[in-house]
Amino acid sequence: MEKTLIVITGPTAVGKTALCLEIAKHFDIPIINADSRQIYRELRIGTAQPTKEQMQEVKHYFVGTLGLDDYYSASLFEQQVLECLEQQFLTSDYALLSGGSMMYIDAVCDGIDDIPTIDDETRTLMKQRLADEGLEALVDELKRLDPEYYEIVDRQNPRRVVHALEICTMTGKTYTSFRKREKRQRPFQIIKIGLNRPREELYDRINQRVDQMMADGLLEEAKSLYPLRHLNALNTVGYKELFDYLEGRWPLEEAVERIKGNTRRYARKQLTWYKKDERVKWFHPQETKQIISYISHYERED
């Protein structure tokens, strides 16, 4: 039998965790996490990390393994997951990758461009320039250094603008020159399963999950992380809004409502991304038996 990577994806709060626990137990395999924020150990509540009980029930990789100030990227994730898969396939025909981070999923399935790793000196310099000169000045510089990428980048996103300028500054080449967008062949087949619910049902789950996070101590978690709010890992829904509350920009009730609204917007963005991929087979998260049957018979369907 050909080695098979099962990919379970879908919008935030759709129900990936519960389903993946069932699939992992059925095939007796661990869960490889593809959530770019759950990988940080300090972001336990705000990223809905699997509980200790769930992680004892099924082995998880890439959950709570990094500190907030550790450098990480989709390229590193691709490299480390491929190494993990190589080991997994020595003892099993199946592996399971699950998460909602679109770029991390794509990196494993299709490969990611070989972008140079930014050195500490360049990263520090660009961080200081962003603080001193502001985003608009850096956007203007990007237009001059890499006009092709300037045309497609989200110019309101400082992380993307700064990263492109870091590459330009460090290498003397355009960021565009490193973005080949070539799909890589993998030595295993990939089954992509997307989870979705009716919009009203999904939004209710998002709202309920935010309320539960607040009850579980999200505000206290945000307070403890406030001194580190400049770190990119904390430029994340749930923390950003509470940092603004802590700075007196709005009342706590409004911060919570903004978390819900921004999470719903992110879910729509995720679904837009996933639905461009014709390889994804869609299910309701409660269709566990149908999903397991689809995986088990996938070779014959092809």
Task: Report which of 286, 297, 280 is spatially closest to residue 8, judged by C-alpha positions.
Answer: 280
**How many Å apart are CA 88 and CA 95, to the nearest integer?**
7
**How many Å apart are CA 50 and CA 55, to the nearest integer?**
6
What are the pLDDT digits (tens) for 81-108?
Answer: 999 999 999 999 999 999 999 889 999 9
DSSP 8-state symbol, 40: B
pTM (2 decimals)?
A: 0.81
pLDDT of residue 108: 96
Which numeric CATH code is attached to 4-113+182-301? 3.40.50.300
Q: What percent of the chain has pLDDT over 70?
A: 97
Q: DSSP letters of 148-202?
A: HHHHHS-TT-HHHHHHHHHHHHHHSS-SGGG---PPPP-SSEEEEEEE---HHHH
**How many Å apart are CA 30 and CA 2, to the nearest integer?**
18
pLDDT of residue 300: 45
Task: Report which of 9, 15, 8, 7 is spatially closest to residue 201, judged by C-alpha positions.
Answer: 15
Q: Which CA distances in Å does 162 have to 23, 99, 212, 234?
A: 40, 26, 35, 16
Q: If you classify domain 120-178 with CATH, what class do you get? A: mainly alpha
pLDDT of residue 180: 67
Residue numbers of the chain with a pLDDT score lower than 50: 300-302
What are the pLDDT digits (tens) for 235-278?
Answer: 899 999 999 999 999 999 999 999 999 999 999 989 998 998 99
Name the residue type at position 200. Answer: E
**How many Å apart are CA 123 and CA 70, to the nearest integer?**
13
Topology match between the domains 4-113+182-301 and 120-178: no
Contact yes or no for 35/47 (Cβ under 8 A): yes
pLDDT of residue 273: 87
pLDDT of residue 302: 43
**How many Å apart are CA 8 and CA 293, to the nearest integer?**
14
Any idea which residue has 């996103």 for tokens?
A: 157
pLDDT of residue 181: 65
**How many Å apart are CA 216 and CA 77, to the nearest integer?**
29
Angle at 98 between CA 97 and CA 100, to 5 degrees: 135
| Domain ranges within the chain, ordered by starting residue | 4-113+182-301, 120-178
**How many Å apart are CA 38 and CA 52, to the nearest integer?**
13
Pairing of strands 31-33, 60-61: parallel
**How many Å apart are CA 176 and CA 11, to the nearest integer?**
29
pLDDT of residue 176: 86
**Residues 38, 41, 47, 49, Cα dihedral to 10°:** 80
- Taking all residues of the chain, what is their mean pLDDT, rounded to a whole number? 93
Q: Which residues contact 21 (CB under 8 A, 6 or more apart)?
A: 31, 54, 57, 58
What are the pLDDT digits (tens) for 133-142?
Answer: 999 999 999 9
- Is 17 strand, coil or helix? helix
Task: Report which of 189, 217, 17, 188 is spatially closest to residue 98, judged by C-alpha positions.
Answer: 17
